[in-house]
């Protein structure tokens, strides 16, 4: 056996899907993009759907491309993707229909309908998952009593379905399953009371396997000579990204920065208090039976919305320069306010918020950008401090992952406003975590700790220390807290 370990990570995103060729050689981990697939929903029969048959045909092409690029034959392959969405199979293992996407309107009104069956506190205590309209629970509730659901023999989450096509093994993985709001918060069993209200036989969801489970050989004709094996990595992409965080001590929180941002901590136990429910915390599962206690918040969506008011050629670097030129800005928003979820005009949404909260309208566009950046940082600080308070876990430094971690300006503002050291990177967190879990499963990496050390050795990381936290920052943070309190009360 060669000392070099080579694998393929299928990293599925709602906008694009990438096949990454990963190599571990000489204590260094590297990855390169072998193939990229555009991904968007298609409207069929009145629903937004994923064209999963086209996607898998493209994944097969990507696998062939990765094999051709590799110096050594890849030993394994793993798949991660977004959560909650699923496919339905018949008794013969055939697809009943193209899977409906989480953004489809079929879940409208389903949360209210569910609350007539089971209260929020009980649902949260049973599943540990907070209430999002796109959760699998509400998707399935919209199908309750339908002939389609009755005709199904198996339900597989998206990464589990791709694994099934690769290996023939039917098995849902723990992290993906946990996003459904139907898995018991402890262990790997489906919650019978929740499924009972859906009239759903738990056998249809089947066995839940831990991340790192070896699924057997890939059965595609074009890869039989490589003896490639499928591995059920963390099916949820954020769980993979968290597995690759290059932590050195346990006193950290992480911020995944993208269109939406995630602020979270790693824990051995879930947080199930009334306060955790009301704060919007959710307890998703991670590698090694850990819990990712996290909060989803509006993120760089604010900046992308404001960017539409600028010439198309304007870069984010130019926007950051406009922010610096704006100087001191007094305005603050609560990024979680409903106004900012999906406005036709983001700048107009900011103006409406300023008027409603008794703040002046900025005269310079850079002030809008400064308000957006700083308000995000205030939100990060608020949620980090709430996680720290509710969990009892001290948070002394922050790890930034995702696309936003490439912004020096944002990273420094987070360090200063959150009053904590920030370590940014890796950008390719999900793909690297996918590869680490494969390496552990295949006996090429000793443990998660060893894998995280490999990330530290292999990836470009940057450290940011808190700058001068003047009285203006503190006053604006206190203003943010008042706005947040008002939002929570209304």
The active-site residue, picked from 85, 237, 336, 374, is 237
Sign of the Cα torsion 301, 306, 309, 315 reads negative
237 as an active site residue: the answer is yes
pLDDT of amino acid 490: 61
- Segment 68-79 shows an average pLDDT of 96
| Domain count across the chain | 2
- Which of 219, 237, 255 is where one domain is finished? 237
Q: Is the pLDDT of residue 196 over 90?
A: yes
Higher pLDDT, 133 or 260: 133
Contact of 260 with 15, CB cutoff 8 Å: no
Q: Is the pLDDT of residue 225 over 90?
A: no
Contact of 421 with 335, CB cutoff 8 Å: no
Distance CA 107, CA 221 (A): 39
- Which of 205, 237, 269 is where one domain is finished? 237
Q: Give the number of residues written for the chain.
A: 490
Residue 452 within any structural domain of the chain: no
Distance CA 48, CA 179 (A): 20
Distances (CA, A) of 410 to 86, 181, 257, 335, 413: 35, 33, 10, 16, 5
Distance CA 441, CA 426 (A): 22
- Segment 421-438 shows an average pLDDT of 96
- Which of 194, 210, 237 is where one domain is finished? 237
327-359, pLDDT tens digit by residue?
889 999 999 998 998 899 999 999 999 999 999
Binned at pLDDT 50, 70 and 90, residue 13 comes out as very high
Distance CA 385, CA 389 (A): 6
Q: Reduce the secondary structure of 103-117 to three states and give it as a string.
A: CCHHHCCHHHHHHCC
Binned at pLDDT 50, 70 and 90, residue 254 comes out as very high
Contact of 259 with 301, CB cutoff 8 Å: yes
Q: Is the pLDDT of residue 224 over 80?
A: no
Together in a domain, 279 and 152: no
Contact of 275 with 305, CB cutoff 8 Å: no
Residue 45 within any structural domain of the chain: yes
pLDDT of amino acid 341: 83
CA nearest neighbour of 29 among 404, 434, 400, 405 = 434
Residue 451 within any structural domain of the chain: no
Range(s) of the domain holding residue 134 = 4-237
Binned at pLDDT 50, 70 and 90, residue 50 comes out as very high
- Segment 186-196 shows an average pLDDT of 97
pLDDT of amino acid 395: 97
- Segment 26-52 shows an average pLDDT of 95
pLDDT of amino acid 1: 43
pLDDT of amino acid 468: 81
Binned at pLDDT 50, 70 and 90, residue 404 comes out as confident
Q: Is the pLDDT of residue 276 over 80?
A: yes
- Segment 78-103 shows an average pLDDT of 97
Quick one: what percent of the chain has pLDDT higher than 70? 99
CATH of the domain at 168: 3.30.420.40
Q: Which residue do the tokens 């759903």 mark? A: 200
Residue 448 within any structural domain of the chain: no
Together in a domain, 139 and 260: no
Copy the structure tokens of residue 472: 């203006």
Residue 40 within any structural domain of the chain: yes
- Segment 257-261 shows an average pLDDT of 86
Together in a domain, 254 and 402: yes
């Amino acid at each position: 056996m060669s000392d070099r370990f080579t694998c393929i990570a299928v990293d599925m995103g709602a906008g694009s899907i990438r096949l990454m060729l990963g190599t571990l050689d000489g204590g260094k981990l590297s990855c390169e993009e072998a193939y990229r697939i555009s991904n968007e929903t298609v409207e069929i029969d009145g629903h937004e759907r994923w064209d999963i048959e086209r996607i898998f045909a493209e994944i097969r092409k990507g696998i062939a491309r990765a094999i051709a690029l590799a110096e050594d034959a890849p030993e394994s392959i793993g798949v991660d993707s977004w959560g909650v969405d699923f496919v339905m199979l018949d008794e013969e293992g055939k697809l009943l229909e193209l899977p409906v996407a989480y953004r489809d309107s079929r879940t409208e009104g389903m949360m209210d309908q569910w609350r007539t069956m089971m209260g929020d506190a009980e649902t949260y205590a049973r599943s540990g998952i907070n209430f999002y309209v796109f959760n699998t629970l509400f998707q399935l509730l919209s199908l309750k009593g339908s002939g389609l659901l009755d005709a199904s023999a198996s339900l597989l989450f998206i990464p589990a379905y791709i694994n099934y096509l690769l290996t023939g093994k039917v098995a849902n993985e723990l992290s993906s399953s946990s996003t459904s709001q139907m898995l018991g918060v402890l262990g790997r069993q489906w919650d019978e009371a929740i499924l009972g209200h859906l009239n759903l036989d738990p056998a249809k969801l089947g066995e839940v396997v831990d991340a790192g489970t070896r699924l057997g050989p890939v059965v595609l004709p074009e890869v039989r000579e490589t003896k490639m094996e499928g591995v059920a990595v963390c099916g949820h992409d954020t769980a993979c990204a968290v597995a690759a965080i290059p932590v050195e001590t346990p006193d950290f929180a992480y911020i995944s920065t993208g269109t939406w941002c995630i602020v979270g901590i790693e824990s051995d136990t879930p947080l199930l208090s009334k306060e955790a429910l009301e704060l919007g915390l959710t307890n998703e599962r991670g590698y090694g039976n850990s819990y990712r206690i996290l909060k989803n918040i509006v993120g760089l969506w604010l900046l992308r919305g404001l960017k539409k008011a600028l010439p198309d050629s304007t870069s984010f670097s130019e926007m950051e320069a406009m922010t610096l030129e704006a100087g001191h800005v007094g305005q603050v928003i609560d990024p979680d306010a409903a106004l900012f979820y999906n406005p036709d005009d983001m700048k107009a949404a900011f103006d409406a918020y300023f008027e409603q909260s008794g703040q002046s309208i900025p005269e310079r566009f850079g002030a809008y950008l400064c308000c957006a950046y700083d308000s995000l940082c205030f939100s990060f600080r608020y949620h980090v401090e709430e996680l720290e308070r509710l969990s009892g876990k001290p948070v002394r430094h922050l790890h930034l992952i995702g696309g936003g971690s490439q912004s020096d300006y944002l990273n420094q503002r987070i360090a200063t406003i959150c009053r904590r050291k920030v370590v940014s990177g890796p950008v390719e967190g999900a793909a690297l975590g996918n590869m680490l879990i494969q390496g552990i499963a295949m006996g090429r990496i000793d443990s998660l700790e060893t894998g995280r050390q490999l990330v530290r050795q292999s990836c470009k990381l940057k450290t940011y220390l808190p700058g001068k936290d003047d009285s203006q920052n503190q006053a604006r943070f206190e203003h943010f807290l008042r706005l947040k309190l008002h939002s929570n009360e209304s």
